[in-house]
Amino acid sequence: MTWHPHITVATVVEDQGRFLFVEEFKAGQHVFNQPAGHLEANETLQQAALRETLEETAWDVELTGVVGIYLYTAPSNGVTYQRICFAARPVRHHPQRALDSDITRALWMTRAELLAEPQRWRSELVPRCIDDYLAGPLHSLALLRD
């Protein structure tokens, strides 16, 4: 059996103490996640983060740094994901734009609101990325080389 890690991006978008999340339907329940998804062929990590955020939330954002690089093996299926998590600021909302089909809605929540519902986290990376963003340091986007 060949092992293939999945490369994913996620974006922590903050606006006045609230964070942009998506609610998605996975494994029979509605769960919260950062805007996130897989790197596609011929795109940079930064392009993937901008695309996934727009597709899942209808928000254009400006990337401001790298929160961290995470390795996570999902207990549900044993798949290993490498997540590159970016920080961003909201720039422009497109309220008429349709969201990806697996996204129920985009919503703004505080850290406390997220922590109040641990059963609805897509994974433990969701609060960890928020906490790492808040604790710092934020790494330069120049860390990533295309």
Q: What is the pLDDT of residues 41-82, one digit of tens each?
A: 999 999 999 999 999 999 999 999 999 999 999 888 888 999
Q: 14 vs 4, 28, 53, CA distance in Å?
A: 32, 28, 13
Domain count, the chain: 1
Q: For position 19, what pLDDT does the model report?
A: 98
Domain for residue 1, yes or no?
no
Which residue range forms the structural domain that includes residue 74?
Answer: 6-136
**Domain for residue 118, yes or no?**
yes
Assess if residue 66 is contained within a domain: yes
First and final CA of the chain: distance in angstroms? 30
What CATH number should be reported for the domain holding residue 27?
Answer: 3.90.79.10
Q: Tell me, yes or no, whether 124 lies in a domain.
A: yes
